[in-house]
Structure 1
């Protein structure tokens, strides 16, 4: 039995992404519509996910493109405002993801009582954002300093739009990440948001992960969710819940419900 049952309420859990529009300080922030519009759309998307039946939600600054690896204070402040305003309406577990800054994600989690964070916690990469380095030792010490030690850490070990500088086998990455860093979960991704996670890679990671939870992190859809969940312990789902399954669109509650009905049927068939 993994921590998923205690924290999210079920095994084979579906964490839905609530993608926030560009925020103050972001290049594509709409200054005329302002935060009121960002807040309105965040509420609509969140409620569509919650009412559609997802197990948990993760708030992320998905449209803060192009991403920073050292995120500005105004971004975290805006995200905290949104979650704070929504908090009375949130009935399911939630997490946060401040792209791509592990410490800022933990700061936001501590401030909003989030249950989990997803980040690039380990590794050095050649990426679309330049050379991308991490400092897991300092990050975990920061987590303890701010009182966020109970926040579950979801390690993305196949970063989107990036590749390890060293030529390392994914199984070796999974083994060493688990041994050295004790992650609560490993997330296995495709190349970009919405790109299908390779089932063969997912299985390789699962085979060496032992008791560590494994998430399919991108590209889980209605037509592959059973295959992905037959390997992984859960999935992080964003794009497929949107109108026409397009990344840039808002959430379609009917798509969420159809997907979650299939997931619940799958879980029931497994006695979960």
Structure 2
């Protein structure tokens, strides 16, 4: 069953697995590759056994990153992703901190992943790293050239960590992302729960026929409320034993509780 089909049923939880620093990271606390693999495989196993619907790999340990992912990032993400894929029976996704549409598609193709998450897919955002422009063209071009049509694109149309350059017409941006830029699903996240709800309402009125996901801010305290707003939910910190430590082990009990809350009466 494809990830889009599963998303349409609702209550779909995507657990973000924050990968520790690769051996080529600019950070001083770099991890050996085998240790990164062990961490990722164990975390993915815990998520799956606890009922999380999908695992999303992200190279958080590579911060600070480039506007374009360097070859070593693509290589290490592919190696780790292949090992994680071997232990999963649930969908696997790829996302990169680097603002790059082509690299996540390349990694997903190499790994056999089911989807990618692409931030700042359309429009332009001003962030602490500078000006980021929509990378939809290189994303869909790479998917076509690599023969990766089976990889679905889940696209953010707003980044709560930045400020849009221009008017914030979420309905127009969402329509462009789906109708012209081939996004298979939309990730919508405001700076607060109220803003997230407002954005989702605006986009829902466009009747675009693709799954809508909340990209952050969902936890055990608000899951019952948030599950009414979208079909998919991307969660990260609240799944860890220590939510303030990016590389803390995954807490199976937290995964299990959140998964049940998001599914509600769908189980």
* TM value normalised by structure 1: 0.87
Q: Determine the C-alpha separation between the residues in 1 that align with 2:114 and 2:258.
A: 24
- Mapped contact 2:101–2:135 kept (Cα < 8 A): no
Q: Which residue in the other structure is 2:24 paired with?
A: 25
Deviation, 1:29, is: 5.5
- Mapped contact 1:7–1:115 kept (Cα < 8 A): no
Q: Determine the C-alpha separation between the residues in 1 that align with 2:208 and 2:44.
A: 33
Deviation, 1:158, is: 1.1
1:39-50 mapped onto 2 (5 Å cutoff): 39-50=37-48
5+ long unaligned stretches in structure 1: none
SS for the counterpart of 1:212 is: coil
Distance 1:5 1:129, change over 3 A: closer
Deviation, 1:206, is: 2.3
- Mapped contact 1:118–1:154 kept (Cα < 8 A): yes
Q: Determine the C-alpha separation between the residues in 2 that align with 1:253 and 1:137.
A: 38
Deviation, 1:199, is: 2.0
5+ long unaligned stretches in structure 2: none
Distance 1:254 1:135, change over 3 A: closer
Aligned length: 263
1:199-210 mapped onto 2 (5 Å cutoff): 199-210=197-208
Once superposed, what is the RMSD of the aligned Cα atoms?
2.3
Q: Which residue in the other structure is 1:175 paired with?
A: 175
* TM value normalised by structure 2: 0.89
Structure with greater contact order relative to length (CA < 8 Å, sep ≥ 6): 2
1:1-272 mapped onto 2 (5 Å cutoff): 4=3, 6=5, 10-28=9-27, 30-31=29-30, 33-99=31-97, 100-120=99-119, 121-191=121-191, 198-246=196-244, 248=246, 249-268=248-267
Give CA deviations for 1:5-57 in whole Å, capped at 9, x if unaligned: 636695331111111011132222534x4112212221222122111111111
- Mapped contact 2:101–2:138 kept (Cα < 8 A): no
Q: Determine the C-alpha separation between the residues in 2 that align with 1:185 and 1:169.
A: 18
Q: Determine the C-alpha separation between the residues in 1 that align with 2:4 and 2:138.
A: 29
- Mapped contact 1:14–1:235 kept (Cα < 8 A): yes
